[in-house]
Amino acid sequence: MPPSGLLEEAPERCAAEFEGGHGGQQPKQRSHLSSVLQLTAMCLGPGLFTIPSVFAQLGILQSSIAVACIAVFADFAMQRLLDVAAEHGLSSYEALAQKALGAMGNSAMAAITLVTTFIASCSYLGASASLLVDVFAAFILDVNVNDGNIAVVSSQKQVVLLLALTFGVLPLWMSPTMGDKSWISSTGVGVMLVSIAFFLGYCILYLIQHGASSVPLATSSAQSFLENIATLAFSFSMIFAVFPTLEELSSDASVAETVPSVKLITKHSVALCASLYMFMGIIGSLSFGKDTKTIALQNLNLSQPLTQLAHLLVGMSLALNVAIISFPTVKSLELLCKSFCCARWQAFNMHPWLAAVIALAIVVVDSALPTKIAFALCGSLGLGFAAYIMPCILFLRLDSRSSWSSFQKAFVPLVLLFGMMLVFGSTPMTLSDLLHSSATSSIPLKDSLVKQWCKQGSPLLDMESSREAFNF
C-alpha cells in the first residue's frame, strides 16, 4: 500500500501544478475577467481549428445546435460539482471523488486524467508534426503543400519526425514539478489568440473575394454525427481548470463563500467558448466548404510568408505544450503505479522513467492514429468521463440539499446520458472509422514538384523523364 496521504495529496498537487503552473509560489488573486480568461484558455488549443471541419461535415444548423447543447451540458455538470464542493467545503475534484467513492475515487480520477491527457498529448503532437512539416516544405521548396492532399513525408519519415519532436521536449518532462514552465502555457495562449485572429481575418477576406462555399444544414449519417459530437465535446475542456480557480479564489475565504463567484465565472467562460466556436465554425466552413481539412489552418495558402509564420508558431507552440499536457499523464501513471507497489518501491523516483515510457507511447500511437481520430477519442473517452459522467455521479452521491423533484436532480440523467453516449456511442464509431476507413489518397510531394516544374516550361517532355531527371 502507498504511504499515508499519497492517494489524497498527489492528485491535487498534480492538478494544481498542471493547471496553475505556480511551482510552489503563493497564488495571486484574480479579477473576474482574468478568471474567465483562465478557464477559457484551457480550450484554446488545436481543437479550435477542428471546429470548421465539424461544421462542414455536420452542417451549419446541426453543428450550431450541437455546440449550444454541449455548452449547456458542460456548464450544468460544472455547476453541480461546485454545488457539492460548497456543501462539503472541498476545493478539488479529487477530494470530491474520494469523499464520494473512497480510495476508488482517487484511482478513478487518476485513470481518467491519464487517458484524457495522454490522448490530448497525441493530438497535440500529431498536429504539431503536420504543421511543421508543411511549413518547412513550403519554405524550402516554395510549394503550397496545402493545395490539395500532398503527402510531404512518408510514414517511415513521419515516425522519425515524431521521435525527434517528442524527445526534443522530453527534458521538460523530467522535472517532477512544473516549476518555471508556466511561460509555455502563457506563450501558447498568446500564439493561439494571434493565430485565431489571423485565421478569421484570412477567412473573411477569402469570403469577400470568392464568396461562400456550399455547406449543408445537417447530416443524416449517424457515424459522422457521433464522431463529430465527440470532437466538439473535446473543445469544452475547462473542467480541468475549475477547481484550480476555486482554490485560488478561496485562499482568503471559505469554499462556500467563493463558489457563487466561480459558478458565474464558469457560465461566462462557457458562453465565450460557445460563441467563439460558432463563429469559427460558420466562417471557416463557409470559406472552404467540403474541402475543409481536419486542422483548418491547413486550408490557408502556404505560399504566403504570414501563413507560413502562423503555421510555424502554432506548430512550435503545440510541440512545447505537449510537455505541459502530458505532465499529469506521467503523474497519474506514477500515482497508479505506486498505489499497487510494495512499500520499498514507494521512495523510488519513477518520474523520469515513466516520462520516457509515455513519450515512446505517444510516438507509437501517433504513428497509427490520425489526428482527426485522436481529437474525437479525447472527447469521447476523456471528456465523456471527466466532464459529464463523473460530475453526475459525484453530485448524486454527495448532494443532500436538492430534492428529486428539483431541476438540479431532474436534469442530471440527461447529462449523464450524454456522457454515456460519448463513451459508449462515439468511441466505438470512432474506432470503427479508424479500423475500416480506407487510406486517403494523396499525391507524393515529388509528383507535385514534377508537375510544377513541367507547368513552368521544363524542356522535359513527360512525367517519367522528369522523375528520372529528379532521380526519384
Helical H runs in 21-154?
A: 32-41, 51-58, 60-88, 93-101, 103-141
pLDDT tier for residue 6 given thresholds of 50, 70 and 90 = very low
Mean pLDDT of the chain: 79
Considering only residues 468 and 135, tell me which one the structure prediction assigns the higher pLDDT. 135
Instruction: Residue 433: name the closest of 358, 376, 394, 387 by CA.
Output: 376
Lowest mean pLDDT among 109-123, 183-197, 283-297, 446-460: 446-460
Averaged pLDDT, 237-255: 83
pTM of the model: 0.79
Please name the residue that has the C-alpha cell 469570403. 207
Whole-number pLDDT of residue 40: 84
Instruction: Residue 129: name the closest of 380, 422, 362, 445 by CA.
Output: 362
Please name the residue that has the C-alpha cell 485565431. 196
Whole-number pLDDT of residue 23: 42
The answer, yes or no, to whether residue 347 has pLDDT greater than 90, is no
Answer for the pair 184, 324: CB distance below 8 angstroms, yes or no: yes
pLDDT tier for residue 447 given thresholds of 50, 70 and 90 = low
The answer, yes or no, to whether residue 454 has pLDDT greater than 80, is no
Lowest mean pLDDT among 231-235, 327-331, 397-401: 327-331
The answer, yes or no, to whether residue 222 has pLDDT greater than 70, is yes
Averaged pLDDT, 379-403: 90
Residue type, 308: Q
Q: Which H or E run contains 150?
A: strand 150-151
**Ramachandran angles phi, psi of 216, nearest 5°:** -70, 160
pLDDT for 61-92, tens place per residue? 999 999 999 999 999 999 999 999 999 999 88
Whole-number pLDDT of residue 22: 41
Q: Compute the residue count for the chain.
A: 472
Q: How many CB atoms within 10 Å of residue 220?
A: 9
Cβ neighbours for 207, distance < 8 A, ≥ 6 positions apart: 283, 286, 287
Instruction: Residue 18: name the closest of 322, 412, 455 by CA.
Output: 322
Considering only residues 154 and 468, tell me which one the structure prediction assigns the higher pLDDT. 154
- Domain limits of the chain? 6-439, 442-472
Averaged pLDDT, 358-367: 85
Whole-number pLDDT of residue 197: 92
- CATH architecture of the region 6-439: Up-down Bundle (1.20)
CA distance 440 to 444: 12
Indicate the DSSP class of residue 397. Answer: H
CA distance 339 to 350: 13
Averaged pLDDT, 350-368: 83
Q: How many CB atoms within 10 Å of residue 243?
A: 25
